[in-house]
Amino acid sequence: MNDDIAKQLRLDVLLCFAAYSASHAFSRFYRPLLDELGLTYPQFIVMMVLWEHQRITMKALADQVMLESNTLTPLLKKLEALELITRSRNRDDERVLDIEVTKAGMAMKLDGQRAALALAEATGETLEGMLDLQQRLVKARENVARHVEKAA
């Protein structure tokens, strides 16, 4: 390993820590807004998908939010207990779980979008700057994820 590079390898210059700490900071920003809706941040992320699709299989939902059944099953059961979604087995394929947003769930859409916009404004970025940042971060994520798959 190059010694000069090694000397520079500090937390405050690492992209991984920037993403890690930014994600936590964003979550803290959302908390008071989402508290009013009775949602946690991961629950909010799931609801974002449902506001778009109304009905979706758990598998497709898992792909979009990039979480697995071991995380999603308990989370979705909580959303069901809050009567924001319904969970039902698919008739054609009993393995599949269909998730559907309820009226109460859809009623939160506007407030949820307001929260997302509030964060966007709080970043201090322009719309273009934020989208550029977002796309580059997604590209880095996809590149890294490819390495994870290959290893598996």
Q: Residues in the site for DNA, rule: CB under 7 A? A: 20, 24, 27-28, 31, 40-43, 57-59, 62, 66-76, 78, 87, 92-97
SS3 track for 89-146: ECCCCCCCEEEEECHHHHCCHHHHHHHHHHHHHHCCCCHHHHHHHHHHHHHHHHHHHH
16 sits near a copy of itself (criterion: CB under 8 A): yes
70 sits near a copy of itself (criterion: CB under 8 A): no
How would you classify the pairing of strands 97-101 and 85-89? Answer: antiparallel
131 sits near a copy of itself (criterion: CB under 8 A): yes
Residues that bind a copy of itself (CB under 8 A): 1, 5-6, 9-30, 32, 41, 45, 48-49, 52, 64-66, 110, 113-114, 116-117, 119-120, 122-125, 129-131, 133-134, 136-141, 143-145, 147-148, 151
